[in-house]
A and B are shown apart, each in its own frame.
Chain A
Amino acid sequence: MTASQPALRVCGLAKSFTVHAQGGLSLPVLHDVALTVSPGECLALVGPSGAGKSTLLRSLYGNYRADAGSIRVRQDEGWIELVGAEPRTVLDVRHRTMGFVSQFLRVIPRVPAVDVVAEPLVRRGADAAEARQRAEFLLAMLGIPARLWALPPATFSGGEQQRVNIARSLIVDYPILLLDEPTASLDAANRDGVVELISQRRDAGAAIVGIFHDTAVRDAVATRVHEVVPPVTPSGAAP
């Protein structure tokens, strides 16, 4: 990959929610969003609560459906358009190119933490023992005590679950990483571990888009800032 070639290009992105339970009320959130992220960059999304930061990040991952515009991802020396793409195209991009750290771990019944973390690597065809080793390394680095590795994370604390989630998303070296408040429920020591991992990924050439409420974290990882402007509600309508 050429260093100057961006990894992610967004333009004209629009997203609104239609709430049928409220008579088809339309809630515009994103309007004409444009951004570009290159390898080695970490773009921080900033804006007040409710501005649409998470909505933007989820739209980039294909978790929310964009109404209009373009989200293009660099893959196999070409560009893949995600707006309007077939599910299998989005899944392929998630599988090989784009990782997402959500705020909460979705617990899978009966699966031990170490396997939850190793799974994305195993799914890509990695050797199971090797994937496990890497998972244990990441869990240790994120301060999860070894006695918890063999347990399903359902009973873990919020901060422990979040770190399992981070380990799961960082076990594959995705060229693009999307992070929604990865340090939200962590104490200072654990937060530093996460900051270190994210910085390493950025310096190794990942293109990162993230939401970081903690300004110290943002200052440590972000190379640029993108302002998400709160939606303008039509005058007269309730916000």
Chain B
Amino acid sequence: MSGPLLSARGVTRRFGGRVACHDVSFDLWPGEVLGIVGESGSGKTTLLNCLAGRLVPDGGAVTYETQSAGSVDVHRLSEARRRLLARTEWGFVNQDAREGLRMGVSAGANIGERLMAVGARHYGEIRREAADWMARVEIDAARLDDRPGTYSGGMRQRLQIARNLVSKPRLVFMDEPTGGLDVSVQARILDLLRGLVGGLHLSAVLVTHDLGVARLLTHRLMVMQGGRVVEQGLTDQVLDDPQHAYTQMLVASILPV
């Protein structure tokens, strides 16, 4: 493929009178990981949800280059087609793993469900692959039949990542995948994501307020303030030579990353 995988043009979303995200445009190319950083309330989650078709923007458009059906306007797809896309070509890692998992079924079923969505039918193979992914995210395969409610927060997050990546999506949206976890669990998840993103050659849009996470996982960075993108560029360039006053403040206010 020669063009971008995902394109946003002028994406704008308001809640009541308040602008949550304003006039955001960018292209995401295959294999790229784009980070979105900014303070709380700056519109990161709103933008991510607009990109993934979970929230309808008031203005602008999001275009996605599908595997086999050419490019589509994400917000003009029927609900059924958007859901199909979300299950087969995309992944979405929620900040709260409980929202991204089905809490009423076993861990194995959580992983297997995604495989079935992309056509797997052989029960033994689905189970084997689910067990293999449990190992990849460092969860004891003996816990395969347990429900996620019996897992710790860090295990749940790793399970959510396995559920999303097992079907080898082309594009993954992640909202604070390490938020709310203690530092050693964060390091494990980051290490895991780093290996998977590099190894599967997937593209991703990653929302984080942690510049260290952004440095480690992303190629490019967008800095948001008050719903607007105030600066974007190569991740190390934005962090080491920030141009905008807000980015300089953000970089200066944390420990070296």
Contacts and interface: CB of A to CB of B under 8 A. Distances in A.
A170 to B, nearest CB: 20
Interface stretch (B12-20, B37-45, B75-83, B240-248): B240-248
Nearest to B191: A110
B219 A109 contact: no
B40 to A, nearest CB: 21
A87 B219 contact: yes
B198 to A, nearest CB: 7
Nearest to B244: A20
B128 interface: no
Given A65-B237, A109-B191, A87 B245 contact: no
By DSSP majority rule, is chain B's interface helix, strand, loop, or mixed?
Answer: helix
A87 B198 contact: no
A58 B240 contact: yes
A110 B241 contact: no
A80 to B, nearest CB: 15
Given A20-B248, A88-B32, A63 B190 contact: no
A65 B241 contact: yes
Contacts of B252: 21
B241 A64 contact: yes
A5 interface: no
A87 B220 contact: yes
Contact of B233 (A17, A65, A123): A65
A19 B240 CA distance: 13
A110 B243 contact: no
Interface string B32-54: 10000000000000000000000
A17 B248 CA distance: 11
A87 B241 contact: no
Contact of A64 (B29, B240, B249): B240
B194 interface: yes
Nearest to B4: A88
B234 A18 contact: no
Nearest to A108: B216
Interface in B138-153: none
Interface string A99-117: 0000000101111000000
Nearest to B186: A109
A195 B176 CA distance: 44
A14 to B, nearest CB: 14
Among B198, B236, B245, residue most surrounded by chain A Cβ atoms (within 10 Å) = B236
- The 10 A-B pairs of least Cβ separation, nearest first, read A20-B245, A109-B187, A87-B234, A64-B241, A110-B191, A87-B220, A20-B248, A65-B241, A63-B236, A88-B29
24 contacts: A18-B243, A19-B248, A20-B248, A21-B248, A21-B252, A63-B236, A63-B237, A63-B241, A64-B241, A65-B241, A65-B243, A87-B220, A87-B233, A88-B32, A88-B219, A90-B234, A91-B234, A106-B215, A108-B191, A108-B194, A109-B187, A109-B191, A111-B191, A123-B198
Given A20-B244, A110-B188, 18 more contacts: A18-B243, A19-B248, A21-B248, A21-B252, A63-B236, A63-B241, A64-B240, A64-B241, A65-B233, A65-B237, A87-B220, A87-B233, A106-B215, A108-B191, A109-B187, A110-B187, A110-B191, A123-B198
Interface of B: 29, 32, 187-188, 190-191, 194, 198, 215-216, 219-220, 233-234, 236-237, 240-241, 243-245, 248-249, 252
